[in-house]
């Protein structure tokens, strides 16, 4: 069950269960066999093996480093000289740091008390009660993703007339036709089971009824030309910050370029728009004061994703001056033209503040799915879209230049499953 428990404070989520939805029945034609292979998958649990708060791991590393440096008097003398040279004068908080400090003061008690209540409810359900003795591996194996580089190459090619007129291509009974263009069309798995397909010589798992467009921000035409209007749009922008520049994990996007996203063209009336934000105050201010008004989105709520270890501790100290154990989600509704005067019952019921608590993945920037918690606040049988996605979801459309990154087969364990009974559904698949 993806939602472990819920109360007036928010939800405690099992992120692994969220990722496993739709993977109980998978089929593969990729080995060139006439008869399909059936199996079931699970996202590898070791990617969520967060046992201790990160600051403790860092402190232990610092102790080991310090011991090695001071193993001799000479090294101690050199280290002391270095410390003196690097000593900086204390300075006051800059504007961004001051804004972040004020914001933290406003929500600190909400995070502390809400987390305590949800975590206690989770323990009573038997969740977060197992104390793991083995620490997580320092270097988890991960697939080398080349999708963004391929998108850069593909955007040099002109869009075909066919892709503008019929922007969606479907999986067929034998899997994905290798001649299909992943960069100019929305690719859809129309079946009710997960398909394993070979794309660019790599194997990926496509969840049931999922659709994706692999492109950068300059090649979103197929998504706009599809004519689909979405009831929910979730964005996880690659915000600019120093950590991203140092790590070089992915290309960031200036805030001003986010306005180029065709959100108004993709939004249905009363569309719920949700944006993940880093803890930089200027990014939060940009969304609320510039981006959402530019898109005609009315800000309605700010929720918090609180990250905890497998034993229920914050992954960073709550009052850490550097990194906080939470991230912000800004929620609003698209109000265009005459829709601005209309207030649907769902909009009125959207809570202004809620917590989402879960054990985070060790994979960079992998966010928990919001499908379960947002379901009450959108229309029945909604059309849902994720922008800047790095994974796919059942019944969702996803876009990004690494949109199938975490669908790579190396992130999953698998076990054999029995062939399904002959029904109308399996006849279509086979």
Rounded percentage of the chain residues whose pLDDT exceeds 90: 51
If one compares 156 and 318, the residue with the highest pLDDT of the two is: 318
* pTM for the predicted model, two decimal places: 0.85
**Residues 358 and 227 sit within 8 Å (Cβ to Cβ):** no
- CB proximity list for 100: less than 8 A, separation 6 or greater: 279, 280, 281
pLDDT at 95: 79
Q: Kind of pairing, strands 412-416 and 37-43?
A: antiparallel
Three-state SS at 168 = strand
DSSP letter, residue 275: E
Q: Half-sphere exposure of 402 toward its Cβ, with a 13 Å CA cutoff?
A: 21
Task: Tell me the β-bridge partners of 175.
Answer: 172
**Residues 42 and 16 sit within 8 Å (Cβ to Cβ):** yes
Q: What is the mean pLDDT of residues 352-364?
A: 93
Counting every residue written for the chain, the total comes to 430
Q: What is the mean pLDDT of residues 19-34?
A: 79
Average confidence score pLDDT of the chain? 82
If one compares 137 and 177, the residue with the highest pLDDT of the two is: 177
Indicate the range of 137-146, 158-167, 222-231, 377-386 predicted with least confidence. 137-146
- CB proximity list for 59: less than 8 A, separation 6 or greater: none
**Residues 274 and 374 sit within 8 Å (Cβ to Cβ):** yes
Backbone angles phi and psi of 304, in degrees to 5: -130, 130
pLDDT at 214: 94
pLDDT at 262: 96
DSSP letter, residue 427: H
Q: What is the pLDDT of residues 96-118, one digit of tens each?
A: 788 888 999 999 999 999 999 99
CA–CA separation, 248 vs 263, rounded Å? Answer: 28
Q: What is the pLDDT of residues 44-80, one digit of tens each?
A: 999 998 888 876 544 443 433 443 444 445 444 545 5
Q: How confident is the model at residue 332 (pLDDT cuts 50, 70, 90)?
A: very high
């Amino acid at each position: 069950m993806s939602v472990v428990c819920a109360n007036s404070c928010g939800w405690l989520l099992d992120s692994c269960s969220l990722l496993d939805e739709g993977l109980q029945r998978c089929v593969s034609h990729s080995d060139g066999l006439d008869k399909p292979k059936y199996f079931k998958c699970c996202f590898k649990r070791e990617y969520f093996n967060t046992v201790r708060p990160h600051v403790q791991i860092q402190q232990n590393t610092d102790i080991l480093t310090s011991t090695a440096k001071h193993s001799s008097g000479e090294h101690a003398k050199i280290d002391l000289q270095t410390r003196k040279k690097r000593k900086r004068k204390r300075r006051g908080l800059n504007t961004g740091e001051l804004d972040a400090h004020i914001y933290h003061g406003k929500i600190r008690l909400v995070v502390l008390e809400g987390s305590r209540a949800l975590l206690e409810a989770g323990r009573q359900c038997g969740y977060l009660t197992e104390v793991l003795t083995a620490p997580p591996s320092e270097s988890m194996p991960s697939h080398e993703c080349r999708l963004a580089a391929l998108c850069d190459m593909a955007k040099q090619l002109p869009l075909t007339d066919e892709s503008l007129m019929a922007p969606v291509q479907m999986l067929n009974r034998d899997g994905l036709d290798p001649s299909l263009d992943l960069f100019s069309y929305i690719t859809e798995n129309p079946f009710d089971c997960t398909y394993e397909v070979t794309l660019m010589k790599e194997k990926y798992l496509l969840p049931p009824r999922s659709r994706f467009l692999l492109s950068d921000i300059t090649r979103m035409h197929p998504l706009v030309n599809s004519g689909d209007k979405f009831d929910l749009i979730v964005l996880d922008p690659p915000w600019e910050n120093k950590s991203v520049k140092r790590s070089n994990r992915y290309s960031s996007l200036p805030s001003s370029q986010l306005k180029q996203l065709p959100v108004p063209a993709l939004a249905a009336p009363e569309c719920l728009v949700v944006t993940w934000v880093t803890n930089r105050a200027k990014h939060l201010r940009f969304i609320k004061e510039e981006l959402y008004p530019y898109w005609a989105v009315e800000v309605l709520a700010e929720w918090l994703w609180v990250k905890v270890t497998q034993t229920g501790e914050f992954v960073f100290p709550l009052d850490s001056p550097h990194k906080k154990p939470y991230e912000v989600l800004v929620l609003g509704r698209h109000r265009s033209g005459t829709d601005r005067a209309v207030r649907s019952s769902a909009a009125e019921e959207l809570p202004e503040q809620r917590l989402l608590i879960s054990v985070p993945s060790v994979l960079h920037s992998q966010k928990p799915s919001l499908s379960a918690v947002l379901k009450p606040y959108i229309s029945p049988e909604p059309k849902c879209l994720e922008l800047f996605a790095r994974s796919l979801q059942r019944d969702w459309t996803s876009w990004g230049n690494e949109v199938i990154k975490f669908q790579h087969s190396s992130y999953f364990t698998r076990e054999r499953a029995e062939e399904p009974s002959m029904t109308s559904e399996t006849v279509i698949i086979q």
